[in-house]
Amino acid sequence: MTDRYCVFGNPINHSKSPLIHEEFAQQTQQPITYTAELAPVDGFAQAWQHFVAIGGRGANVTVPFKGDAFALCDTLSHRAKRAQAVNTLIVGGNGRTYGDTTDGVGLVRDLGYHRVPIKDKRVLVVGAGGAVRGVLEPLLVEQPRELVVVNRTADKAAQLVRDFADLGNLKGGGFDAVEGQFDLVINGTSASLSGDLPPLPDKLFTQHAWAYDMMYGAEPTVFLQWAGPRGAKLLDGLGMLVEQAAESFFLWRNVRPETAAVRSQLRQSLNFSD
């Protein structure tokens, strides 16, 4: 019997998730189908209920529905409660909906894949939206010396500090809160999609620093184009996408797929797409 999974979003045609999960299924010989589903902006809960009614066993959730998914779950993982967002839905044996978030795990695993050190390092995270909220706990678990969150609206960054301060040395505020140099700078804003650049100081990076953008594309993002000439080693969010998908796949199937070949295939598909 083939189990049905999908990714919900709006828009959704651009999603790489069907390609990723098809590769995972072939690799692990898991009998699943995985599709991309366009949900109405004001009708996510109904779209999920319909999917379950026709045999759906689980789903990924992307923009703009991670908050809606959080709200409809019967039970939530600890990390989903922290993030106040869900990107992975699972139908339990009793028909109840369980929600988890794998974005933060995906980020940390991608950093580990590239051997980017976090422990005892100064880390700067730019942005204070849902993407950042979803990664703060996994980053703090890695025990950075200091993690600083900055945002155009300082109050939003300050709220994140209040919400996560029990997990480690966390500070935050407006862009004027950026002081000194950092070993890892993560752009968690969507500014790259519109070609905007956060107002960051030129002398931001330590000698062996990394710059990471959660966005990705065939070409380096505006943030990475800015960071490269300032001495940082560069990573985009494609690996995070693959790793968060692998964690979702594990939650659904209790099998952990290998990600290296899928990373390579996805990168090639970006480079050779029109």
**Closest alpha carbon to 31 in 271, 260, 256, 253:** 253
* Lateral strand order in the sheet of 205-213: 170-173, 146-150, 122-126, 182-187, 205-213, 233-235
Residue 2 annotated as part of some ligand binding site? no
Residue with tokens 């796949």: 249
Residue 134 annotated as part of some ligand binding site? no
Which member of 66, 119, 121, 233 is catalytic?
Answer: 66
Characterize the bridge pairing of strands 32-38 and 122-126: unpaired
Residue 130 annotated as part of some ligand binding site? yes
The answer to whether residues 151 and 128 touch, using CB atoms and an 8 Å cutoff, is yes
How far the first Cα of the chain sits from its last, in Å, is 37
CA distance 72 to 48: 9
The answer to whether residues 227 and 185 touch, using CB atoms and an 8 Å cutoff, is yes
Residue 215 annotated as part of some ligand binding site? no
Q: Is 121 assigned a catalytic role?
A: no
3-state secondary structure of 230: helix
Tokens of 2: 């083939």
In Å, what is the CA distance from 217 to each residue of 45, 222, 260?
A: 30, 11, 18
In Å, what is the CA distance from 204 to each residue of 1, 111, 225, 230, 232?
A: 54, 19, 14, 8, 9
Residue 10 annotated as part of some ligand binding site? no
User: Using N-to-C axis directions, what is the helix angle for 154-164 and 130-141, rounded to 10°?
Assistant: 40
Residue 25 annotated as part of some ligand binding site? no
Catalytic machinery residues? 66
Write out the binding residues for shikimate. Answer: 15-17, 62, 87, 103, 216, 244
Write out the binding residues for NADP(+). Answer: 127-131, 151-156, 214, 237
